[in-house]
Amino acid sequence: MELVAQAETVPSSSDAVMTAQPMLQTSGLTKAYAGNVVLRDVSMTILAGEIHALVGENGAGKSTWINLVTGVVRPDAGSISIAGNVAPHLSPRIAEQLGIATVHQELSLCPHLTVGENVFLGKTPTRHGLIDHDRIRHEAERQFRDLGVSIDPNALAGELSLAEQQLVELAKALAAKPKLLILDEATSALDSSQVDLLVQALRRLRDSGTAIVFVSHRMEEIFAISDRITVLKNGEYITTVPAAGTTTADLVRHMVGRDMADIYPPKPAISDLLAGPTLLSVRDLGSGKRFSGVSFELHRGEILGLGGLQGQGQHDLLAALFGLYGLEGGISLHGADLRLRGPRGAMRHRFAYVPEDRKTEGLIVQLPVRENLALPNLDQISQNGVLSRSRERTLVAAMVDKLQIRLRSPRQTLLRLSGGNQQKVAIAKWLPLAPEVYLLAEPTRGIDVGTKQEIYRLMRELTAGGAAIILISSDTIELLGLCDRVLVMYERRPVAMLSGEDVTEENVVHAAVVGEAVGGATVVRISSTATEDPDASVATVASPTVPPRRGVAGMASRLSWLRWLGNLPRAWQDVVPIYGVLLVFAIIYLYLTRNTFGIDTVNNLSAYLFPLFLAAIAQSVIMLTGGIDLAIGQAMSLATVVLATQMYDNPLSMAKAIAIVLIGGGVLGAFTGAIVTLIRLPAIIVTLATSFIWAGWALFVLSVPGGHLPRRFATNFTGQIGGVIPVTLLVLAGAILAWKFVKSTPLGLGIYAVGDNPRGAFVSGVPVRMSRIAAYVIAGVLTGLAGIGLSSYAATGDPLIGAPYSLASISGAVLGGIAFFGGQGQIRGTIAGALTLGLMTQILFISGLSPAYQRIVYGAVLIVALGVKAFASVRIEEGR
């Protein structure tokens, strides 16, 4: 469009912009999801050396634009040029190579990696192929110093506060020394001092020629920082204006197309509301560390907003009111004390909850619309558990009609509906319950303007009918337009309650970023006879701010060992329990073998446990990426029969056979990994199928145990070096060292990252698919090694001998703390887990306990050990 011509005349403090080069140009960019167009024909230009704000309501298309420009998704039409060159195919890696860095709204950090590792994820510095941890630490420290914050690069990202995490995400983008920096809601959790630091950093960047795109809801910030502002509305480009000379009102008018008064339904008189009946009364409400000190009276007909920076406990408060968290303090409904027990209990008291993320929490998108609408109302449409289709039809039709949900038929899958209609379903499904309290978290996120208005109108209809709404919105304008009162939270405590005329952007933002009320606004008082007097202007300073907890700080727990546990470095916390159990078993074992204990005992034990160790380690590597392999045992059987048929009694043949097994293991792993990753089939069933195939193949090679495995090989492998050190122990140590080596390469880091936060790893440029396949290949080689150990111990090839190892390897890994869904756990835990299992079996065997009791104890130990672990981790989480 005409922007390039405009560029020359844009005023800026930097000389560079006078001869401004376009850094990024999008032309006719269009994107649709499932038939719904979210971005239509958007053309705009971002210049070097400018801070360019991108604004628009929820659902205007800003995030989609960012995803397109950073290569996270591909456009359906249109082109993107970077520094004058058209980029035909973008991916996060390519975008990064072209000099684009992003501070994502949905953080791309991996919670179980350190801050330093996160900052350089996808572009990890190496020295001789290994990760250069020193350089990571220095560079990360430097980034933080330049920013003006102090964050420990060795801390785990998951333990930081949300604000710190956003700052790490920022440092990560800056570390890439980008030519184009995009910030997507990067300040939503930052307080005013942190925002200042950010702004300074941005200005420095701009002056050195970087192009910056800044997406935010906060008008103040936008006008303070930006040079130019582009407005998107409903997926379309509206205009680009210089920041100087534009007012908020102008901007809002561009964003919504009309004056605010026309968008939001009129509010009832605040004095009438506050004089009316109280629905819900809350006194000094808290929930552990999530939030505390919340007191308010919710009146019929009222819309109460929860304001404040992101991550200050608002969402937790809403969830707690729906029974999802334990509550301390007083809460009463209609004057009677209330005990909320879970969502069902809340529903029985006529609470409704529309969570923030409709795709993953609010709705079940794979199911038809009809079933989504019916789900909270099953009691109403069924008799004694049996559904009545006719009642369902009537109910569904009523809901669709009431909210004017646009669809082809109620049997349609929810996925095909537009965001706005999906959200309508998320709200409509509660109507038959006739709720009195609606808890709405970001109810208009990602919806078009028209639907938004319908929802606003619905909200007022509901309140007019006697209900009350508690609302969270990160869009300040929306908060102001909708709410009768706003409770602002800061550091997980309320700091201001604004009513009626006091609900202004200035008051809300001030309370949010500074943490105290501007004089004249009421502050919530904590007293047992709390009554709200809207005319009182008591400026009480909020209680001293509590610094956000890092890790597991001391919590007064009845189980004091948990406190000790919590103070350990995080990496060891998870494995202490299993090492404890291991210690117990080791003592029992040593006692049982005290008379015969010697070098040979150790050797025998090592040779016996060797296959299990390696199988469990192999399984762990796969499970780290979120996968699983049910065929490890069968691959081990295959290895034994190959060895038994290929190995003859001369060194060359031995070497060859070993090589075949190791390389073959890698190949089989690559095969499995490719199917799981490239064709995207569930690992559990793919490996069930491959377990059949490997087992059949093994039977094919050798239908009965036998072969000609050289005696010499078997005895040597299970023997000792120098009569003292078991060969198997050495090989095991070698395998562990090899894994440590892999872990210290970018590949190894990628394997952890992919399991920890797959999307985050992807947008950081980690090669996700390759990492997963690599994990399977590594596991395959380890499995081959396990097979070698197994055949040596059995001194034969046996097509069925490995089968029990499939499930045993999973047990060992899980016992040792590898999280079932990936991203968590250390191999040292697996070693303990496998060792525990192995020792347990040995103990049961030596003690003469029949195989029967062995099985029982095996199962019981699994259940008890994992159950205790789950129990303990829930407790630790609660205390966080």
Partner 1 sequence: MASIPSGANPVAQPTRARRFRFPGIDPVLITYSVLTLIWVYSLIRVEGYRTVDYNLFTLRVAAFLAIVAAGQTLVVLMGGIDLSVASVITMTGVVGGNLITQVGETGGIVLTLLIAAIVGVANGIGVVSLRLPPLVMTLASMSVIQGGLLVYNAGKPVSGQSDFLNYWALGEHFRVPTPVYVLGAIIVLTMFLLHKTSYGRAIYAIGNNPRAALLSGIPIGLVQVATYALCSVIAGITGLLLLGRTGYSSKTMGDPYLLSAIAAVVIGGTSILGGRGKVIGTVGGALVLTVLVNLLTVENIPEAGRMVIQGGLILVLLFAYAYTDQ
CB of 129 to partner 1, least distance (A): 27
- Under the binding rule (CB under 8 A), the answer on residue 680 touching partner 1 is yes
| The one segment of 15-23, 47-55, 658-666, 690-698 that binds partner 1 by CB under 8 A | 690-698
Q: Which amino acid is at 221?
A: E
Q: Taking the CA atoms of the chain, what radius of gyration do you get in angstroms?
A: 31
CB 186 within 8 A of CB 164: no
CB 395 within 8 A of CB 380: yes
CB 484 within 8 A of CB 303: yes
CB of 90 to partner 1, least distance (A): 19
Q: Which amino acid is at 382?
A: S
Q: Pick from 246, 824, 826, 836 the residue near partner 1 by CB under 8 A.
A: 824
End-to-end Cα spacing for the chain: 52
- Under the binding rule (CB under 8 A), the answer on residue 874 touching partner 1 is yes
Q: Pick from 8, 11, 106, 553 the residue near partner 1 by CB under 8 A.
A: 106
- Under the binding rule (CB under 8 A), the answer on residue 423 touching partner 1 is no
Site map (CB under 8 A) of partner 1, residues 335-364, x = contact: --------xx--x-----x-xx---xxxxx
Of 85, 5, 16, nearest to 49 by C-alpha is: 16
Q: Which is nearer to partner 1, 415 or 660 (CB)?
A: 415
Please tell me what DSSP assigns to residue 41: E
Q: Which is nearer to partner 1, 145 or 341 (CB)?
A: 341
- Under the binding rule (CB under 8 A), the answer on residue 375 touching partner 1 is yes
Q: Which amino acid is at 863?
A: I
CA distance 77 to 91: 16
Specify the DSSP element, H or E, that contains 577: helix 576-592
Residues within window 509-568 making contact with partner 1, judged by CB under 8 A: none
Residues within window 616-635 making contact with partner 1, judged by CB under 8 A: 626, 628
- Under the binding rule (CB under 8 A), the answer on residue 371 touching partner 1 is yes
Q: Pick from 16, 660, 688, 742 the residue near partner 1 by CB under 8 A.
A: 688
Site map (CB under 8 A) of partner 1, residues 694-723, x = contact: -xxxxxx--x--------------------
CB of 387 to partner 1, least distance (A): 6
| The one segment of 21-29, 161-169, 287-295, 395-403 that binds partner 1 by CB under 8 A | 161-169
Q: Which stretches within 362-496 are classed as H helix?
A: 369-374, 389-403, 419-428, 449-464, 476-482
- Under the binding rule (CB under 8 A), the answer on residue 571 touching partner 1 is no
- Under the binding rule (CB under 8 A), the answer on residue 394 touching partner 1 is no
- Under the binding rule (CB under 8 A), the answer on residue 877 touching partner 1 is no
Rounded (5°) CA angle 164-167-170: 155
Residues within window 573-612 making contact with partner 1, judged by CB under 8 A: none
CA distance 772 to 626: 9
Q: What is the dihedral of CA 346, 351, 354, 356, to 10 degrees?
A: -70
Q: Which stretches within 330-446 are classed as H helix?
A: 342-348, 369-374, 389-403, 419-428
CA distance 119 to 125: 11
- Say if strands 22-33 and 36-47 run parallel, antiparallel, or are unpaired: antiparallel
Q: Which is nearer to partner 1, 191 or 484 (CB)?
A: 191
- Under the binding rule (CB under 8 A), the answer on residue 436 touching partner 1 is no
CB of 331 to partner 1, least distance (A): 20
Residues within window 747-786 making contact with partner 1, judged by CB under 8 A: 755-760
User: Helix, strand, or coil here: 512?
Assistant: helix
Q: Which is nearer to partner 1, 137 or 416 (CB)?
A: 416
> Helix 133-147 crosses helix 192-207 at what angle (to 10 degrees)?
100
| The one segment of 73-81, 524-532, 718-726, 865-873 that binds partner 1 by CB under 8 A | 865-873
User: Helix, strand, or coil here: 566?
Assistant: helix
CB of 348 to partner 1, least distance (A): 9
Q: Pick from 36, 81, 310, 593 the residue near partner 1 by CB under 8 A.
A: 310
Residues within window 167-196 making contact with partner 1, judged by CB under 8 A: 185, 188-189
CB 181 within 8 A of CB 50: no
Q: Which is nearer to partner 1, 378 or 590 (CB)?
A: 378
Q: Pick from 58, 474, 764, 830 the residue near partner 1 by CB under 8 A.
A: 474
Interface size with partner 1, residues (CB under 8 A): 101
Q: Which is nearer to partner 1, 280 or 628 (CB)?
A: 628
Q: Which is nearer to partner 1, 281 or 842 (CB)?
A: 842
Q: Pick from 572, 741, 821, 845 the residue near partner 1 by CB under 8 A.
A: 821
For residue 861 the two structure tokens come to 């130990």
Specify the DSSP element, H or E, that contains 274: helix 270-275
CA distance 211 to 191: 25
Cα–Cα distances in angstroms (integers) from residue 717 to residues 313, 614, 641, 651, 794, in the given order: 59, 15, 17, 13, 11
Q: Which is nearer to partner 1, 227 or 756 (CB)?
A: 756
Q: Pick from 537, 649, 856, 877 the residue near partner 1 by CB under 8 A.
A: 856
Specify the DSSP element, H or E, that contains 82: strand 77-82
